[in-house]
């Protein structure tokens, strides 16, 4: 009788564990942006064609700046999500700028081609973006409003759900 009782308890515990595991796999564990309020920092880099570019040139648009690298697993994972979000909102004066951290053009271009990225990609060979945004983490992202104020920031991969929940509001204001 004790063995049967212990067996039933074991089966019950395993059943509860399996239920919890399956519900956890449907939860969104991606990063959630934090509200911030500071002026966009000065940042001058080059795009993939070698043309000088600046965050100042984006005033009037909502800009999502994403700091990333090709070797970064969460950066790779979020790129299709960022691309889809960009395609959906680019007609609303929304710009997504992916700033690669310290990798060569020869490394970055195949990555851009692999993921079919159509948003601007800038090269940052000297970690200038990480310094002006005061971060050492990848991916790190920042949302700048039309007036040049950084309104949201997050560290880590962000989901489509959280982009819609937090960033779309800034775009559609």
Residue 28's pLDDT is what?
54
10-residue block means of pLDDT along the chain (173 residues)? 54 53 49 92 97 96 98 97 98 98 97 98 97 95 97 94 95 92
Calculate ∠ Cα 129-131-135, nearest 5°: 90
pLDDT, tens digit (0-9, with 9 covering 90-100), for 99-127: 999 999 999 999 999 999 999 999 999 99
pLDDT given for residue 42 in this prediction: 96
Give the separation between CA 170 and CA 35, rounded to whole angstroms.
11
Q: Which bin fits 156, alpha (ψ -120 to 50), beta or left (φ > 0)?
A: left
Q: For residue range 26-36, what is the model confidence (pLDDT) as tens digits? A: 455 567 899 99
Query: How many other C-beta atoms are found inside a 10 Å radius of the C-beta of residue 154?
Result: 22
Phi, psi for 62 (deg, rounded to 5): -85, 130
Classify domain 31-171 by CATH number.
3.40.30.10
Pick from 134, 155, 162, 133: nearest CA to 72: 155
Nearest-CA neighbor of 62 among 154, 138, 151, 135?
151
């Amino acid at each position: 009788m004790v063995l049967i009782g212990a067996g039933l308890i074991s089966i019950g515990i395993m059943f509860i564990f399996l239920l919890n595991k399956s519900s956890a796999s449907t939860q969104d564990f991606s990063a959630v942006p934090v509200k911030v309020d500071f002026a966009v920092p000065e940042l001058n880099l080059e795009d993939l064609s070698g043309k000088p570019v600046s965050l100042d040139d984006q005033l009037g648009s909502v800009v999502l700046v994403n700091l990333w690298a090709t070797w970064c697993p969460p950066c790779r994972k979020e790129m299709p999500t960022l691309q889809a979000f960009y395609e959906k909102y680019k007609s609303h004066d929304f710009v997504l700028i992916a700033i690669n951290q310290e990798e060569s053009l020869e490394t970055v271009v195949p990555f851009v081609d692999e993921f079919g990225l159509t948003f601007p990609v800038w090269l940052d060979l000297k970690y200038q973006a990480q310094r002006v945004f005061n971060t050492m983490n990848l991916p790190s992202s920042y949302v700048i409003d039309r007036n040049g104020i950084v309104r949201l920031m997050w560290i880590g991969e962000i989901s489509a759900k959280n982009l819609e929940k937090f960033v779309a509001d800034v775009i559609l204001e």
